[in-house]
Chains A and B, each alone.
Chain A
Amino acid sequence: MPKPPPMHPLLPTLCRRAALISLFALAATGRAADWEMSLDTRLVSSDAGRSFMDGGLGTTRFDRQNSGIQLGRARFALTTSLGELWSAHFDASAWDDKDRSPVGVTEAYLQFRPYPRAGYRFRLKAGAFYPPISLENRAAGWESPYTLSYSAINTWLGVEVRTIGLEAQLDWLGTRTGHDFDLGVTGGAFGWNEGAGVVLADNGFMLHDRQTPVFGRVGPPGAGALPFQQFDGRAGAYAGVEGRYLDRVVLRVLRYDNRADPTQIDSVSGAIAWNTRFNSAGLRVESGSGWTAILQWLDGETLIAPPGLQLVWPFRAQFALLSKRFGRQTLSARYDRFEVETNVPDGDGWQIGHAFTAAWLFDADAHWRLAFEWLRVRSYSYYRTEFAGPAFATETQLQLAVRYAFDSQSRY
């Protein structure tokens, strides 16, 4: 069978055109668009090993070379309605690192949301967006309202997982029809995810808030990983269910398989297709007195099968987060556990670790947010010994963050 031509250069072009069309649509609809901007700066103190963005094996975003003032994130997002039932969302960020372009798009999608009928609601999304897994990254820009650094599970999703395709969701709105529960099913089909898994096998799990832009690179120029590639001609898929008890409890279960053909090697870039599949489950419980508890669980494997080999990296991670709001302040604590195993004879990619995170967030007003986070990761990584380091490392990162945000809804 002839190999399909590499498609990945096409989609960025299409995305750029879609963005241009969106901007024209925005100009045409005038005030119909809602926009948001934010600038997040950090004062960092870290003793961590070299950051993944510099090709290192550090488990935090900032390493000991990065202590001082850093750009946390500069973000611009646009949501505009296109007619009555369609809307477009565009989310772009700059992280001041060595990415392919100074500004990257983390999500860009069209959404179709017809009116609910007889207690059922249908939604369709097309474009690039996060699959419905994280119960932590619920704030604008897929940020966590609890901590600065995401859990190990959600950090990995932010680095390597994105739906570049379609997602359909059907909800039964029980709470709108006199019941205590809502139920939903969701399914997605996507491409451009053959690279997902390589960062997990190379670096293992990390805890940070640096989301990879769509078609972006993880790591330094020339040596970084490219999670969003398409060259085996196979679409990935996921299916999940969600249950809600009033507005208090959310339970999500999802099966994900990028269905990559692990024997495929891109003839252009030489990249190998990583077949990554996992099960995930999450539970979030909130009280009326400001308490939030989140549990998330991830279990899967990623594998490649170049000629004569089958290399597998099973991975699993869990976290428990407890948070309490006190007016405009939020105190959160999280415990993460993570593990990557492998059948590679010399143990390349083996990682096991755990992390404690404590954070204080203060929303001074509608624009300013102050945050302080302490993160300690203790991990064993086989790869570290190959770089003449100790396999065990305890890395501590302190961050003080000041964020200024404003949007089209702000009263000036």
Chain B
Amino acid sequence: MRPPARLRRIGCSARRAAGALALLGALGGRAGVVLAATLVIHVQTPDGHALSGAVVTVRPLDTPARRPAPVHAVVDQVNRAFAPDLLVVPVGSTVAFPNSDSVRHQIYSFSAAKRFQLPLYRGKPYPPVQFDQSGVITLGCNIHDDMLAYLLVTDAPYFGRTDGQGAWSADVPRGRYRVSVWHPRLRESEADLERELTVGDADRADLTLRLLKSLQPAPITDRAHSWDY
């Protein structure tokens, strides 16, 4: 975990501070340590165990949210599975879907945030797909029903996934934030797992989010792909 950022004392009016916050946001938040504190989110299962791999998104409530810079990402297809099977990207990002298998795939999404399909292919015949709307996109293959992956397209300026200890952290300016947690196997609504918190004078703000319902069981991975599933 990253050490808490040092607070640098500056004297300024509330108005200038707000302006500085906005500027800080525009500069990318994490890079600037001015007025920043470390926000640490812990995600736990209902029985209190750390939940790794959960997606955390954090939006400021006091200032207009800075849009994160789009990225160019890749979701490969290897051994009849998507790799990775969960990816978080900012709105406006592009994702390439190469097929590294020798068997052909036929990728689709009928999710509201992005409907698309890539007709039967091997290799890299198609340009990357752009995702302009935030939301969860479920990816499938029309040939191999057991292939499943998720894209979370977010407009939150701060986002990431919890580590092996169930924690995620970011340096954020002081202020009020709304924190959301999502996981593909979540049984409760995302709204139930939203919390507001204020990052105040301390160098570090911690928030623990405990799921109310246990996750769906993980997909079975040791079955032969050729089986009827």
Binding site for B on A (CB under 8 A): 32, 34, 81, 84, 113, 115-119, 138-140, 145, 173, 176-177, 180, 246-248, 286-288, 290, 325, 408-409
Contact = CB atoms under 8 A, between A and B. Distances in A.
B220 A286 contact: yes
A248 B222 CA distance: 13
Residue of B101, B148, B220, B222 with highest tally of chain A CB at under 10 A: B220
Interface in B195-229: 216-220, 222-224, 226-229
Interface stretch (B7-15, B88-96, B103-111, B162-170): B103-111
B120 A81 contact: yes
B104 A118 contact: no
B133 interface: no
B140 interface: yes
A409 B142 contact: no
B52 interface: no
B226 A139 contact: yes
A113 B106 CA distance: 11
Contact of A408 (B102, B117, B229): B102
B132 interface: no
B120 A84 contact: yes
A130 to B, nearest CB: 10
B167 to A, nearest CB: 25
A115 to B, nearest CB: 5
A116 B103 contact: no
A409 B146 contact: no
Contacts of A32: 104
A115 B108 contact: yes
A369 B164 CA distance: 37
Contacts of A287: 220
Interface residues of B, number: 29
Contacts of A138: 227-229
A176 B224 CA distance: 21
A186 B205 CA distance: 55
B146 A247 contact: yes
Contacts of A115: 106, 108, 110, 117, 142
30 contacts: A81-B120, A84-B106, A84-B119, A84-B120, A113-B142, A115-B110, A116-B140, A117-B110, A118-B110, A138-B228, A139-B224, A139-B227, A139-B228, A140-B226, A145-B227, A173-B140, A176-B110, A176-B138, A180-B187, A246-B217, A246-B219, A247-B146, A247-B219, A248-B217, A286-B223, A287-B220, A288-B218, A325-B222, A409-B101, A409-B102
B110 A119 contact: yes
A135 to B, nearest CB: 8
A115 B140 CA distance: 10
Contacts of A290: 222
Contact of B104 (A81, A145, A288): A81
B80 to A, nearest CB: 9
B110 A34 contact: no
A116 B147 CA distance: 14
B153 to A, nearest CB: 16
Contacts of B120: 81, 84
Point out which of B140, B146, B228 has the most chain A C-beta atoms below 10 A from its C-beta.
Answer: B228
Contacts of B148: 176
A139 B226 CA distance: 6
B216 A180 contact: yes
Nearest to A116: B110
